[in-house]
Amino acid sequence: MTCDYIENYELRNHTTFKIGGLAQRAFFPETTDEFCELLQTLNNPVILGNCSNVIVSSKGIEQDVILTSKLNKFESVNNILTAQCGVKVPMLSKEAESLSLSGLEFMIGFPGSVGGAVVMNASAHSQAVSDTFKSCRVFDICGKKVIELNKDEMHFGYRHSLLQEKNYILLDAKFELRPAPKEEITAIMQRNLDFRKDRQPSLVLPNAGSIFKNPPNDSAGRLLEKAGVKGLRQGGAQVWLGHANFIVNVENATSKDVSLLMNKMYNMVKEKYTIKLVPEVKFVGIKSKEEEDLWDTMLNQK
């Protein structure tokens, strides 16, 4: 295998939550070919991008881990931006701005990478990945081959894409943007940044973004605030005082602390409104029996 790896890699250093145990082997491919070779040869690896919407187990991950942070190339041709899966989306947003291309302004404050943004059809401020998405290349784990998918084939929905249904791993994606005055694009991006500054914690307070998805025609943050979860604390994890749909790592929180706190939030909304919130963050790695039960409750809507 041509790609180097690091043994016993400390994953907490790589996550925006600053939570996570060891990966037995962590691979950092620098080219799409290296990435595909790893996907062909490793047995059921865990693929991680910028680790901005995941809770990595404090007990670590048993499988091999592939981190896409070095797959960070992008290019522009005729209003189409092509970006590898590891490109950080604020960087792509800034590139579009520099080219006077509109459509990615909403990404400016996101901490994630292109891979995660496409998988979950990230959205904000009335813009979504699916608005400008043209096509992508994915590696089909079952078929062991690279295939191309167009927008219609991606089954985009709210926080959803085909990549959540199939064992496909995003390699790169194309976004078709529209020319617009640069000053207009810059103004929209600044408004988006100002909005986020007031309503979302910066990564100075380690966090994983929104914890629960918005239910249909409602806001998870509103329901959680009305249920009285702001300021709740479990171990080193606390519900942010600025917005009830964020958990911040205030004192060396563990994945168990966050899971227990999420379960409290889930139950308080369920008891007050009989609404069962669905987690937006993903749990990755080894679950203790208690964590298994907590996530089973939230994911299976018990």
User: Is residue 203 over pLDDT 90?
Assistant: no
From 2-11, 115-124, 136-145, 233-242, the region with the lowest mean pLDDT = 2-11
Structure-token match 């947003």, residue found = 93
Does domain 220-299 fall under CATH 3.90.78.10? My reply is: yes
Q: Which class in CATH covers the domain with range 74-197?
A: alpha beta
> Any bridge partners for residue 157, and if so which?
160
Q: Which class in CATH covers the domain with range 5-67?
A: alpha beta
The Cα 49–Cα 219 span in angstroms is: 27
The Cα 214–Cα 196 span in angstroms is: 17
Position 27, amino acid = F
User: Could you give the angle at which helices 255-273 and 289-299 cross, rounded to 10 degrees?
Assistant: 30
Average pLDDT over residues 26-42: 96
Q: Which amino acids are annotated catalytic?
A: 159, 210, 280
List pLDDT tens digits, range 74-110: 999 999 999 999 999 999 999 999 999 999 999 998 8
List pLDDT tens digits, range 163-185: 999 999 999 999 999 999 999 99
Contact 19, 251 (CB under 8 A): no
Greatest Cα pair distance, the chain, in angstroms, is 55
Domain ranges of the chain: 5-67, 74-197, 220-299
Rounded to two decimals, what is the model's pTM? Answer: 0.92
Sorted by sequence, the CB contacts under 8 Å of residue 184 that are 6+ apart come out as 102
Report pLDDT for 1.
Answer: 57
Three-class secondary structure of residue 158 per DSSP = coil
User: Is residue 216 over pLDDT 70?
Assistant: yes
In order of 170, 300, 302, the CA distances from 48 in angstroms are 11, 24, 29
115: closest CA among 143, 142, 140, 137?
Answer: 137
How many CB atoms are closer than 10 A to CB 56?
Answer: 28
